[in-house]
Amino acid sequence: MSTNENQLPANFIRQIIANDLKINKNNGKVATRFPPEPNGYLHIGHAKSICLNFGTAIENKGTCNLRFDDTNPEKESVEYMESIKRDVQWLGFTWDGLYHASDYFEQLYNYAVQLIEQGQAYVDSLSAEQIRAYRGTLTEPGKESPDRNRPIAENLDLFKRMRAGEFADGQYVLRAKIDMASPNINMRDPAIYRIRRVHHQRTGNDWCIYPMYDYTHCISDAIEGITHSLCTLEFEDHRPLYDWVLEQLHTPCHPQQIEFARLQLEYTIVSKRKLNQLVTEKHVSGWDDPRMPTIAGLRRAGFTPKAIRDFCERIGLTKQNSWIEMGVLEYCIREDLNENALRAMAVLQPLRVVITNYPETQVEQLDISNHPQRHELGKRSVPFANVILIEQDDFAELPPPKYKRLVVGGEVRLRGSYVIRCDDVIKDADGNIIELHCSYDPETLGKNPEGRKVKGVIHWVAEQQSYPAEVRLYNRLFTVPQPDNEDNFLDAINPGSLEVLTGCRVEASLADATVENRYQFERTGYFCLDAVDSGEGKLVFNRTVTLRDGWVKD
RNA sequence: UGGGUCGUCGCCAAGCGGUAAGGCACGGGGUUUUGAUCUCCGCAUACCAAGGUUCGAAUCCUUGCGACCCAGCCA
């Protein structure tokens, strides 16, 4: 990874850090953290945060922790934690420390006791509904709870008994005592502990009270010695609370919270709740469905970590809410795959072609380059015989203007092979084309014919020497750029987001395809072997992205 | 006058008082045994608007306008 700072694009966080370094703030240390809640799979929006946090650490020779914000056990699970670790590593990052907010439950509790002792937190018996009513509105100040001035000793006793499990869920809550009239609603005595008898995936039944985000996050950051706590814009209003907690507690360090705009990608969604709904209601096959914007989905679709990292750098980092066009992501994956994917031929919708002047029993092995520019990637052997398969689209009886492919009486180059001419179209009783009769020019292997130009080049496979495969063509999951803005985002699901092609034939070399390799099926797109449904003798390929199509059809 | 944040090309985004970088997209030319790649060229007299300060303003000031976030015992 490049660490040449002069080459990296400027952004406001890089500027803040550069300035901090200049004045030797934090003794020149940079420590970040990526703090997901393990309540779902990571998605492309998390990738932005991951690249930011780990990237910032790498650029500044600092550290970056992975910390699970596991303070709400109701929605969290070990499966999610495992998937998050897997995805972060797959993206190419290594955490310095692996922590959980739950590691700090005891310290958090002690800090809460300190807050109570300082008269800055109290146990409230108001119900959730009452607290809401007392909170006031955006334009009206709130009212103080009758319990707000409960004596410290009583608060201490009650809080201890909350922990001990003497009260029912929801009976009491611990609140920070700040300002019920604050124009910032987050400062109107926010709840910092609630009673919840839920089994926690790590602490089991040790606790029946759980600390809340605003109280937990800042302290966790401080405990880990985080210098720059990077989070998304919706937490801007929480920063005063973040700072308030650390100031009251006199923590040894006070991290700086900096907010940036979250990623919004057109034609998809990154709301965890909605992603979850797509999975639960089976609109997709799972969290790793290749149409999902999850890291797992992108991986299964054939995206590379490098392309995703590149994408995250290209989209920039600001405080402006913005929508990134899908074209940017597609550009990034094409750039990587064009450079690195092995070329191969696969016929997705076959049309039989009999080469009438080619010996019926002959099979020729043609050596074809694995990459048109990078010859060091070697060649593979592709069998050629008298019956081949071409793409149905590559033949037209009534060609559109500027058509460069096969027409009756016309010639076309078979990629890496001979030039053929179409002599006859064979149809069935209903008039459907069932095969073509062509003749080949033996003088055109590896060289152009004399006296005429053959414009078109099409891909092909030998019928007998090819392998059957299933090919899954994925398209955008939604029909509108901002499905989140629809009344019901499910109505915007693209019914054609998955096309399964079962009669495909792939060239012989693809029988050895691996999940790790990426392939360009020439002229059709980039593909990878499906990691889940491929098996012994069964080839299933996923289309990662199409090739750019510069053919301007009239 | 509830608080907070943000307005620079179709989409991102540099710019930090000295006269509008870059990328994606798009349009056009060239090369090409992938209508791919590669390559060359084009693409904001203008920075939400209106005033003001200044020799000079996207950058500073004022006033508007627009967008987003906040009233979980979620994160």
Exposed / middle / buried, residue A485 (Cβ in 10 Å: 0-12, 13-18, 19+):
exposed
Nucleotide nearest to A232 (CA to C1'): B69
Q: Is the pLDDT of residue A1 over 60?
A: no
From the C1' of B75, which residue's alpha carbon is nearest? A213
Mean per-residue pLDDT, A228-251: 98
The band of A515, judged by pLDDT with boundaries at 50, 70 and 90, is very high
Nucleotide nearest to A320 (CA to C1'): B6
At A3 the pLDDT is 34
pLDDT, mean of residues A102-131: 98
Separation of A10 CA and B17 C1' (Å): 20
CA A464 to chain centre: 40
Mean pLDDT, all residues of chain A: 96
Q: Which residue is nearest to nucleotide B32 (CA to C1')?
A: A372
Distance CA A199, CA A70 (A): 12
**Residue whose CA is minimally distant from B12 C1':** A315
Q: Where are the extended beta strands (E) located within A335-378?
A: 342-344, 346-347, 350-355, 364-369
pLDDT at A382 over 70: yes
Helix axes A78-90, A44-59, angle to 10 degrees: 60
3-class secondary-structure state, position A142: coil
* Tens digits of residue pLDDT in A122-156: 999 999 999 999 999 999 999 999 999 999 999 99
Distances (CA, A) of A430 to A182, A348, A389, A426, A433: 79, 23, 21, 11, 9
Tell me the pLDDT band of A554, cut-offs 50, 70 and 90.
low
Integer distance in angstroms from CA A236 to C1' B75? 14
List the nucleotides on chain B closer than 7 A to a protein CB.
2-8, 10-16, 21-25, 27-28, 32-38, 67-75
Q: CA A64, CA A30: separation in Å to the nearest integer?
A: 9
pLDDT tens sequence across A360-378: 999 999 999 999 999 999 9
Distance in Å from B63's C1' to A188's CA comes to 33
CA at A447, C1' at B32: how many angstroms apart?
14
Reported as a single tens digit per residue, the pLDDT across A259-283 is: 999 999 999 999 999 999 999 999 9
Annotated active-site residue in A86, A196, A262, A413 = A262
Query: Which nt has its C1' nearest the CA of A142?
Result: B71
Between A8 and A327, the more confident residue is A327
Shortest CA to C1' contact from A444: nucleotide: B33
Cα(A207)–Cα(A271) distance, rounded to whole angstroms? 29
Instruction: Give the whole-number percent of chain A exceeding pLDDT 70.
Output: 98
Condensed to tens digits (0 to 9), the pLDDT of residues A51-98 reads 999 999 999 999 999 999 999 999 999 999 999 999 999 999 999 999
The total number of residues written for chain A in this structure: 554
pLDDT at A357 over 80: yes
pLDDT digits (tens, 9 = 90+) for A447-497: 999 889 999 999 999 999 999 999 999 999 999 999 999 999 999 999 999
Share of chain A above pLDDT 90, in %: 97
Residue nearest to nucleotide B6 (CA to C1'): A320
The side-by-side arrangement of strands in the sheet containing A457-458 is A457-458, A411-414, A419-427, A433-441, A350-355, A387-391, A460-462
Nearest DNA or RNA nucleotide to A455 (CA to C1'):
B33
pLDDT, tens digit (0-9, with 9 covering 90-100), for A396-438:
999 999 999 999 999 999 999 999 999 999 999 999 999 999 9
A241 close to A214: Cβ distance less than 8 angstroms? yes
Checking each nucleotide's C1' against the CA of A235, the nearest proves to be: B69
Rounded to an integer, what is the distance from CA A334 to the centroid of its chain? 16
Radius of gyration, CA atoms only, chain A: 31
The protein residue nearest nucleotide B2, judged by CA to C1', is: A139
- Residue A379 near residue A343, CB atoms below 8 Å: no
* CA–CA distance, A503 with A454 (Å, rounded to integer): 29
Q: Are residues A406 and A400 in contact, defined by beta-carbon separation less than 8 angstroms?
A: no
Nucleotide minimizing C1' to CA distance for residue A191? B73
pLDDT tens for A2-54 read 333 346 899 999 999 999 999 999 999 999 999 999 999 999 999 999 999 99
Kindly name the residue from A37, A144, A330, A463 that is annotated as catalytic: A37
Residue matched to tokens 């030039």: A419
Mean pLDDT computed over A351-360 = 98
* Measured CA A520 to C1' B37 distance, in angstroms: 12
Strands A173-176 and A467-474: unpaired
pLDDT at A171 over 60: yes
Instruction: Tell me which of A175, A188, A272, A543 is the catalytic residue.
Output: A272
Whether the predicted pLDDT of A205 surpasses 80: yes
pLDDT at A100: 98
Rounded, the Å distance between the CA of A52 and C1' of B56 is: 38
**pLDDT-based confidence at residue A302 (cuts at 50, 70, 90):** very high
Query: Is position A272 annotated as part of the catalytic site?
Result: yes
pLDDT band at A446 (very low <50, low <70, confident <90, very high): very high
- Give the integer Cα–Cα distance in Å for A173 and A280: 33
ipTM reported for the complex, 2 dp:
0.97
Q: CA(A394)–C1'(B73) in Å?
A: 64
A287 vs A211: CA distance, rounded Å: 29
Q: Give the nucleotide at minimum CA-to-C1' distance from A368.
A: B33
Distance A531 CA to B41 C1' (A): 44
Residue nearest to nucleotide B11 (CA to C1'): A325
Rounded distance in angstroms from the CA atom of residue A444 to the C1' atom of nucleotide B26: 38
List the A191 CA – B71 C1' distance (angstroms). 14
